[in-house]
Copies of this chain bind each other. A is one copy, B any other.
Amino acid sequence: MHKPAPNNSLKTACSTCNLRELCLPVNLSNIEMTRLDDLITRKGVYRHGSILYRSGDKFQALYAIRTGFFKTQILNEDGREQVTGFQMAGEIIGMDGINSDAHTCDAVALEDSEVCEIPFNRLEDLSRDLPPLQRHLHRILSREIVRDQNIMLLLGSMRAEERLAAFLLNLSQRFAVRGYSPTSFQLRMTRQEIGSYLGLKLETVSRALSHLQEGKLINVRNRSLEILCLSGLQASMGKRAR
């Protein structure tokens, strides 16, 4: 495991960030936007494998991903591990920590990544002054709830291949929103990490990928993935309830 590069505390400007529409799509005046800029600092680069925060760390800030890719995972007492999400540029992580003032999961960089730090106390202060910002914060929190509940649906009621199809379609859609190809991208995580996220063993993930490939729905070679038939993938979900 690497250490993050030293914190240079570079000032960040949301106002000029090209992820603005994704990350904080709030209608603010110039002067209001400046106040937001003042809040947020760019933290140094997190190298592949390094840890943004750990379970148990004091909660102080949310983090907006500028570039790169993270996973979040929880570990219970007996060492069992569950990947709870994969996060990409423009997404905000750390909300698990608000409740108890301590993080309840680990956030690990899956490639070299940059994040913006948003001190939460100051975000609360500012959001009392700026109702659109307040509303946006609430939406982000709620979105996370909805997202998690959809994963519960996936884990509770889909079979292996459906879970994988849902996972790939979700990635596809998120790449598309960011202006990348929805049909051709690199997987940033191992089969084991995909398996943990989907409640499957890595062998099952591998077999399901192979099977989707046999069916001409995808092409997969190591980490590079090509979706050959989006609608076919969609159809391969929802075949039959478990």
Known contacts A82-B153, A141-B145, A145-B95, A135 near B131 by CB under 8 Å = no
User: Which single residue of chain B is at the shortest CB-CB distance from A105?
Assistant: B149
User: Which single residue of chain B is at the shortest CB-CB distance from A72?
Assistant: B149
- Which residues of chain B have C-beta atoms less than 8 A from A158's C-beta? 80
The answer to whether B142 and A98 touch across the interface, beta carbons within 8 angstroms, is: yes
Contact of A146 among B78, B96, B127, B150 (CB under 8 A): B96
Known contacts A124-B131, A146-B99, A151 near B153 by CB under 8 Å = no
Name A167-188 residues within 8 Å CB distance of B. none
The answer to whether B135 and A124 touch across the interface, beta carbons within 8 angstroms, is: yes
The answer to whether A98 and B141 touch across the interface, beta carbons within 8 angstroms, is: yes
Contact of A99 among B128, B143, B151, B238 (CB under 8 A): B143
Tell me, in angstroms, the Cα distance from A2 to B91 when the chains sit together: 42
Name A79-105 residues within 8 Å CB distance of B. 79-82, 84, 95-100, 104-105
The answer to whether B241 and A156 touch across the interface, beta carbons within 8 angstroms, is: no
The answer to whether A99 and B152 touch across the interface, beta carbons within 8 angstroms, is: no
A77 at the interface (CB under 8 A from B): yes
- Which residues of chain B have C-beta atoms less than 8 A from A143's C-beta? 99
Known contacts A155-B152, A156-B199, A238 near B138 by CB under 8 Å = no
Tell me, in angstroms, the Cα distance from A79 to B238 when the chains sit together: 9
- Which residues of chain B have C-beta atoms less than 8 A from A145's C-beta? 95-96, 99, 141, 144-145, 148
- Which residues of chain B have C-beta atoms less than 8 A from A76's C-beta? 153, 157, 238
> In this complex, which of A81, A104, A199 has the most chain B Cβ atoms within 10 angstroms of its Cβ?
A199
A-B contact pairs, 20 of them (CB 8 A): A74-B149, A74-B153, A80-B153, A80-B157, A80-B241, A82-B156, A84-B153, A96-B142, A96-B149, A99-B143, A99-B146, A104-B149, A127-B128, A128-B131, A128-B134, A138-B141, A148-B149, A152-B155, A156-B197, A156-B199
Residues of A within 8 A of B (CB): 74, 76-82, 84, 95-100, 104-105, 124, 127-129, 131, 134-135, 137-139, 141-146, 148-153, 155-158, 196-199, 238, 241
Nearest first, the 4 A-B pairs at minimum CB distance are A98-B142, A156-B199, A148-B148, A99-B142
